[in-house]
A and B are shown apart, each in its own frame.
Chain A
Amino acid sequence: MRSVVLIAIGTFLLLLPGLFLITAPGSTLSLAFGILAIVTVLVSIYFVRIPGRKNPLKFVSFLFPVLAIIFSKGYIVNFLHFSAGLPLADINNLLDLLFFAELGLIAMMSYETSNSLKKVASDNGYDEAEWVTEIGKLNNFSFGIGILAFVSSFLFYVFITSVPTLNINPIFALLIFGLLYLGLSRFFSRSRRNANRDSMQP
């Protein structure tokens, strides 16, 4: 996959939540959040094209839709008596789009990595054709892993919501996931450390 395709996918998916906030019938606050989200994404695209520079703005772009949700429903709205005005259906739609935006973030990060590596190539005299081929493979791989994680997490979500006995509240579900995640990551890191130690021995 060419790097330009990655940045196109990334931009499109990252812009979705901001565009939704602008078009959805909410208050001025949600509109402002939408505009800020779009501006942040556009500025981050400008920076992401500079090779070798990591920019945190692409992460910041998620902040505004998150704030729009927090100010539309839940404890804070009840406490402040103040709302961004997004109806429940729109909050769910926005969360769906944010799910895709996370995939867009992965595409953007893949582009960022390949772009910074491209600078290394041009500085050190690597063969350009070979470089383009190998970077293409890297892009396919990293975005492929992103899609795998995307599908897996969706299936996991479907699983926990579809089984009636597992119809638990979100906090408890996250707690279970967090514990499971920590346990698995610990297991993998330990097994890998052991494998590395074995390979180091003569």
Chain B
Amino acid sequence: MEKTWTKSLLGFLAIASSFAVVAFVSGTLLAALLVIFPLLYVGIMYILDEESSINVQVEFPQKLKVGDEFEVKSTISISRGAGIFLFELPFFDFFKLTDGSNVRVVFKGIRRRTYDLTYKMKALRRGSFNWQEVKYTYNPTMGILNSKEGKIPCAIKVEVLPNIQILRKKGLRIRSTRLNPRNARSRIGPASTDFDSIRAYSPGDPYRTINWKASARSASGGQLLVNQYEREGLHSTIFAIDNTGPMRQGTKEENPLESGINLVLSFSNLLLNYQYNVGVWVMQRNRGVKRDVVVPGSGMEQYLRIRRRVMLVEAVRFVPQIYNISREFAAVARETVPSVFLVTSLVENNVMQLKKMLKIVRGASSNIVVVDVLPYSIFQKISPYDISSIYTEAYSKKAKRTIYREIAGLAEIVPWDPGQTSYGKIISRLTVSLR
């Protein structure tokens, strides 16, 4: 520790010196007592005000779900120094303290001390959070020596997963009301042994699929025909997540984007249980994330892939030219001709841009459903006034009618207010639009 002679120390020494002068000038022995006392006090304080040795251990869960409340246990042992220690223990953005505090104060005297400090936190939003060090400030006992700030390395990494609603298979009927066949639409996935049709050979087809008898019988004569088998997995569905400004309405923890991500994960989980091919397109690439598309696939591994990707989604600032179709998505859409569920929040500013984009996407998708996430119940929650009568469903419908009219012919629009309609109900509604 860098020792500095503070004003207090100099003041004490000045007093001792002045009494030394008194002793010298007046020749009074009693004045010596007044020299000894401050010097002795400064001496004791100097011995006690030594560099502290601090060890901190923090118990923190590594994986959490949004809404989980947990106790953080930290053990702090201080072996040297005497004074007041201020600690700033781990705490992250998007967490809420529910009991106790992460900033703590402890006093340490002469003896070595160990402190068990606990506090409770609640995770409010998904994401990965890191805490590198515990900061502390050491204020020596009397302020004779300057206080010191320090950091103790403490690598904590927490992953907060979205708290999604896992829907039971038997609770929902995944059956389209459309006339389109729901089977055999997948163009990717491994081929099964179920025969589908016979078609003309094209370079690259495996020889074992050549149907020699059918080729011999064919009218054209000499043209090779191959058996085509059904692909595993059902029709491809891609969730397009709009992560522009309108999805950030509300608070950092509660906004259409967060609700939309939960919806995508819940719905993906259900569809993957039904062997669908599910993919995700994050419409705006965030800094540090390489890919914006999770290629449609099936199985629970695919669910984990989707979850990993959506964990990284953050809202970006809205600019008019933002709704461009990425090459990656265009390639996947051409190959899989998917159903596209666009999770967005329609506002006057973005509707025309979305309209342009939907016109292009329509050509490469079997159908498009726009899930318009309404922020009204979030506004109700955060408003200091009772505005429940304003944001009724009737009001929202009226306000949105003009916006919906713009894209009515391009996509099916499903308005959804997460505060009014449960995930189960909205997913049940969306399954009707599945192809």
Contact = CB atoms under 8 A, between A and B. Distances in A.
Please indicate whether A and B come from the same complex rather than being unrelated chains.
yes
Interface of A: 54, 56, 58-59, 62-63, 66, 69-70, 72-76, 91-92, 95-96, 98-99, 102-103, 105-106, 109-110, 112-113, 116-117, 120-121, 124-127, 130-131, 134-135, 137-138, 141-142, 145-146, 148-150, 152-154, 156-157, 160-161, 169-171, 173-174, 177, 181, 184-185, 188-189, 192, 195-196, 199
Contacts of B101: 125-127
B41 A146 contact: yes
Contacts of A184: 43
B21 A174 contact: no
A109 B28 contact: no
Contacts of B45: 145
A137 B25 contact: no
B7 A73 contact: no
Nearest to A131: B105
A142 B26 contact: no
A187 to B, nearest CB: 10
Task: Classify the interface of chain B: helix, strand, loop or mixed.
Answer: helix
Interface stretch (B80-88, B233-241, B367-375, B407-415): B80-88
B43 A145 contact: no
27 contacts: A63-B18, A69-B26, A69-B31, A70-B25, A70-B26, A74-B27, A95-B30, A95-B33, A98-B34, A102-B15, A106-B41, A110-B142, A113-B141, A117-B84, A120-B137, A121-B105, A126-B86, A126-B104, A130-B104, A134-B84, A145-B141, A146-B41, A149-B41, A157-B32, A170-B23, A174-B20, A174-B35
A95 B11 contact: no
B37 A102 contact: yes
A95 B11 CA distance: 18
Given A69-B22, A185-B43, A177 B34 contact: no
B24 A185 contact: no
Contacts of A98: 19, 34
A31 B10 CA distance: 28
B32 A134 contact: no
Contacts of B84: 117, 134-135, 138
Interface stretch (B48-56, B65-73, B155-163, B251-259): B48-56
B46 A150 contact: no
Given A74-B25, A113-B143, A117-B139, A95 B48 contact: no
Contacts of A130: 104-105
Interface centre among B45, B105, B137 (most CB of A within 10 A): B105
Nearest to A152: B40
Given A73-B28, A134-B106, A142-B141, 4 more contacts: A54-B6, A112-B143, A169-B27, A173-B29
B47 A56 contact: no
Contacts of B304: none
B36 interface: yes
Nearest to A156: B36
Contacts of A174: 20, 23, 32, 35
Contacts of B109: 137, 141
Interface string B281-310: 000000000000000000000000000000
Contacts of B60: none
Nearest to A158: B33
Given A73-B26, A131-B105, A170-B29, A188 B41 contact: no
A102 B38 contact: yes
Closest 8 CB pairs of A and B: A74-B26, A59-B11, A149-B41, A153-B37, A137-B107, A157-B33, A153-B36, A113-B143
